[in-house]
Structure 1
Amino acid sequence: MRRYLILILLWVAGCTGVMPDDPAYRAFVAVAQDVEPVAEAECIKQNPNRNCDFDVQLDLDPQAPANAFQTVDRNGRPVVIFTAAMLETFRNPDEMAFVMSHEVAHHILGHLDQQRRNAVQGAVFLGELVSLEGGTPEEIANAQYVGAVVGARSYSKAFELEADALGTVITHLAGYRPSVGVRFFEQIPDPGDAFLGTHPANPDRILVVRETIRTYGLN
Structure 2
Amino acid sequence: MSETESKKPGYAEIASHFRKLIADGTLAPGDEMPSMRDVCEEFNVAITTANRAFRTLKEEGLTVVRPGRKTLVADQPRVAATASARLKRIARTGKPYAPNERSVDHTAQLRSMADPMLAQLLNVELHDEIVLRTRTFVRDGKRTVFAVSCIHMRAIIDVPELLSPEPFGQFWQEVYTARTGKVVTKSPERRGARLALDHELEALGVDVPAGTPVPVLVLVNTFSDEDGPIEVWEDVYAPGLWQVDTE
Q: TM-score range by the shorter chain?
A: under 0.3
Question: TM-score, normalised on structure 1?
Answer: 0.24
Q: Kindly name which structure, 1 or 2, has the bigger radius of gyration based on alpha carbons.
A: 2
* Highest RCO, 1 vs 2 (Cα 8 Å, sep ≥ 6): 2
Q: Please identify which structure carries the higher strand content.
A: 2
Structure showing the higher helix proportion among its residues: 1
TM-score by length of 2: 0.22
